[in-house]
């Protein structure tokens, strides 16, 4: 039953309305709606306790929020709460009886109540939009439950999602399709091998122009190219039998695989895994122009350009030297151009762009530009990562951001791209992975012991190994040599 109270003044109406935003029911108690006010406060307290219980009882909350059911619930819940809070402010205003105020007070209180009702809805609306957009983006990019890989499904167990692995290996590819050819030419190839406990990561870069690529024995490509990947020169003198052509060639020749189509990704994953002595779990292909749109979506990326970078068919483009924020197109050309340069310098610049993105894509930037980022990402990535694995990979990715990230680039003089020393490539990779797994930094002279998670059943046929000599450690930090940004 409502109790009779004295009419409130204009400033009091404003104050009680503001208090009702953070303590629903407060305005009703002041207006004499005791029972309604207590019910509202009780529901609010129960809701807060419920959220606290969910947080405390869920070990992997961030991972759970990658699930469709959770994202749908968050979106629906945020929308419902937005409507409820809007109604709460409106009804709180009504029960405070603003009609008893002077005309000026009524205008002031009414305007404030209207603005407040809209303001309280905004965060709930934004939350619902982010959750739903995120859900749609994930479903568009990742392999969903409707077309699962049976072997992958068997591996994803809550008690051990990594299936006993100490590391996961994800092949990160950069490339673009061409209307005049089948498949994709991968001009950027980096393998990220990640410790599932610490997040320590080694980013291993392979050059696009690696020749005489070996394929795993017993595979269709190995039977077709028993002495390595070698084709006659192109009419213009170029070569289409380099490492960056493996995907394209496999897609263009389904007859090698008994008529099976689209074997490019699996062949390239297996080939790079065999070359490095690691098992590649998944791949992610980044469309280079989509990459430029992603950088624009986050507002650009700040990079130290050491010297002018020329690009374009007629050398008409220029990324000037200096430290500044680059837009997407300039950042992409900085990472891709080989004009007056070479593949190896380009690989270093690509590593610098990746490092800058990791450093600068902070949560605040992602949230404020979420819709733009989500739209750019839809057109950016092609991957075979199973949708259910995101529950475990997303928390791991955040661990990587604050973990030790090193890199190895297989470029001259470390290796010869024309006559690669396969045994040396494997040994360096093994040592880098071993050092990354150590709990403390490892000196450059430390020997590398094989790790159980990185040793394959077979290795590439080695070419003649040079005499052992003391070499500098090829492992570097991700942004080493990039200048200060």
Q: Write the pLDDT tens digit of every residue in 202-213.
A: 999 999 999 999
pLDDT of 216 above 80: yes
Taking 80 as the threshold, does the pLDDT of residue 37 lie above it?
Answer: yes
Q: Which backbone phi and psi does 228 adopt, to 5 degrees?
A: 110, 165
pLDDT band at 398 (very low <50, low <70, confident <90, very high): confident
Mean pLDDT is lowest, of 6-10, 108-112, 359-363, for 6-10
Structure token pair of residue 15: 């104050």
Contact 191, 167 (CB under 8 A): no
Indicate the pLDDT class of residue 362, thresholds 50, 70 and 90: confident
Average pLDDT, the chain: 84
In the predicted structure, residue 112 carries a pLDDT above the cut 50 = yes
Q: Give the best-scoring range by mean pLDDT among 50-59, 97-106, 422-431, 441-450.
A: 422-431
**At 361, phi and psi to the nearest 5?**
-85, 70
Using alpha carbons, select from 64, 66, 67, 21 the residue that is nearest to residue 44. Answer: 21
Q: What are the Cα distances from residue 356, in Å, to 75, 128, 237, 266, 428?
A: 32, 30, 37, 30, 25
User: Which of 51-65, 319-333, 461-475 has the weakest average pLDDT?
Assistant: 461-475
pLDDT score of 349: 87
Whole-angstrom distance between the N-terminal and C-terminal Cα of the chain?
A: 66
Confidence grade of residue 484 (pLDDT, cut at 50, 70, 90): low
User: 460 or 365: which carries more pLDDT confidence?
Assistant: 365
| pLDDT confidence band for 27 (50 / 70 / 90) | very high
DSSP one-letter string for 118-137? HHHHHHHHHHHHHHHHHHHH
DSSP result, 444-464: TTPPPPPPTTT--S--PPP-P
- Whether the per-residue pLDDT at 451 is higher than 70: the answer is no
Average pLDDT over residues 452-475: 48
Confidence label for 441 from pLDDT (cuts 50, 70 and 90): very low
Q: Which two tokens stand for residue 178?
A: 């061409």
Residue 118 binned pLDDT confidence (cut-offs 50, 70, 90): very high
Look at 321 and 470; give whichever has higher pLDDT: 321
The pLDDT > 70 percentage for the chain reads 85
For 294-322, what is the mean pLDDT? Answer: 88
Whether residue 390 is predicted with pLDDT greater than 50 in this model: the reply is: yes
CATH topology for 150-477? Aminopeptidase (3.40.630)
Lowest mean pLDDT among 159-163, 277-281, 299-303: 159-163
Rounded Cα–Cα distance for residues 468 and 130 (Å): 56
476 band by pLDDT with thresholds 50, 70 and 90: low
In contact, 325 and 313? CB cutoff 8 Å: no
- In angstroms, the CA 119 to CA 162 distance is 44
Cβ neighbours of residue 280 under 8 Å, at least 6 residues apart?
169, 170, 171, 191, 269, 270, 272, 273
Residue with tokens 């791209």: 417
Angle of helix 10-22 versus helix 103-141 axis, rounded to 10: 20
Alpha helices in 277-361 (DSSP H): 288-297, 328-336, 343-360
Query: In this predicted structure, what is the pLDDT of residue 194?
Result: 95
What pLDDT shows up at residue 176?
A: 66
Ranking 67-76, 260-269, 400-409, 435-444 by mean pLDDT, the lowest is 435-444
> What pLDDT does 440 receive?
46
SS3 for 144? coil
Digit-coded pLDDT (tens) for 409-429: 998 999 999 999 999 999 999
Residue 266 has pLDDT above 90, yes or no: yes
The domain segmentation of the chain, as residue ranges, is 10-141, 150-477
The per-residue pLDDT for 182 is 57
pLDDT one-digit tens code per residue, 130-174: 999 999 999 988 876 544 454 444 456 666 788 888 999 999 998
Please give the pLDDT value at position 44.
95
pLDDT (0 to 100) of residue 157: 64
* 162 and 392 Cβ atoms separated by less than 8 Å: yes
Q: What is the C-alpha separation between 107 and 104, in angstroms, rounded? A: 5
* Predicted pLDDT at 410: 94
Residue 451: both structure tokens together: 């790790």
């Amino acid at each position: 039953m409502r109790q009779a109270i004295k009419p409130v003044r204009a400033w009091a109406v404003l104050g009680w309305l503001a208090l009702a935003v953070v303590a629903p029911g407060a305005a009703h108690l002041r207006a004499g709606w005791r029972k309604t006010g207590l019910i509202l406060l009780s529901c609010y307290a129960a809701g807060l306790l419920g959220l606290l219980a969910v947080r405390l009882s869920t070990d992997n909350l961030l991972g759970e929020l990658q699930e469709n059911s959770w994202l749908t619930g968050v979106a629906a819940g945020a929308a419902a709460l937005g409507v409820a809070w809007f109604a709460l402010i409106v009804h709180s205003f009504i029960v405070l009886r603003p009609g008893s105020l002077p005309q000026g007070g009524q205008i002031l209180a009414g305007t404030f109540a209207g603005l407040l009702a809209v303001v309280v809805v905004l965060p709930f609306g934004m939350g619902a939009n982010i959750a739903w957009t995120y859900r749609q983006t994930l479903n568009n990019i990742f392999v969903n439950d409707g077309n699962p890989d049976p072997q992958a499904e068997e591996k994803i167990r809550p008690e051990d999602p990594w299936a006993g692995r100490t590391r996961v290996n994800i092949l990160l590819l950069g490339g673009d399709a061409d209307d005049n050819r089948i498949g994709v030419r991968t001009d950027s190839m980096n393998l990220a091998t990640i410790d599932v406990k610490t997040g320590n990561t080694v980013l291993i870069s392979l050059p696009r122009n690696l020749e005489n690529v070996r394929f795993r024995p017993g595979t269709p490509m190995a039977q077709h190219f028993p002495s390595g990947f070698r084709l006659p020169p192109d009419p213009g003198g170029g070569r289409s039998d380099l490492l960056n052509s493996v995907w394209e060639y496999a897609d263009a020749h389904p007859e090698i695989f008994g008529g099976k189509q689209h074997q490019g990704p699996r062949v390239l994953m297996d080939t790079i895994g065999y070359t490095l002595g690691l098992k590649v779990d998944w791949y992610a292909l980044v469309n280079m122009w989509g990459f430029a749109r992603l950088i624009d979506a986050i507002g650009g990326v700040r990079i130290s350009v050491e010297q002018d970078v020329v690009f374009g068919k007629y050398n008409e483009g220029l990324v000037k030297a200096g430290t500044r924020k680059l837009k997407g197109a300039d950042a992409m050309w900085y990472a891709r151009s080989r004009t007056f340069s070479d593949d190896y310098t380009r690989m270093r610049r690509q590593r610098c762009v990746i490092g800058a993105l990791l450093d600068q894509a902070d949560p605040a930037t992602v949230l404020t530009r979420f819709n733009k980022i989500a739209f750019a990402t839809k057109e950016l990535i092609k991957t075979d990562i199973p949708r259910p694995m995101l529950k475990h990979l997303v928390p791991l990715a955040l661990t990587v951001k604050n973990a030790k990230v090193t890199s190895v680039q297989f470029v001259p003089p470390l290796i010869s791209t024309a006559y690669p020393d396969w045994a040396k490539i494997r040994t360096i990779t093994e040592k880098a992975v071993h050092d990354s797994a150590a709990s403390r930094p490892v000196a450059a002279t430390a020997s590398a012991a094989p790790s159980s998670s990185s040793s394959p059943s077979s290795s590439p046929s080695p070419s003649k190994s040079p005499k052992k000599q003391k070499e500098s450690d090829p492992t570097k930090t991700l942004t080493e040599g990039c200048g200060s940004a």
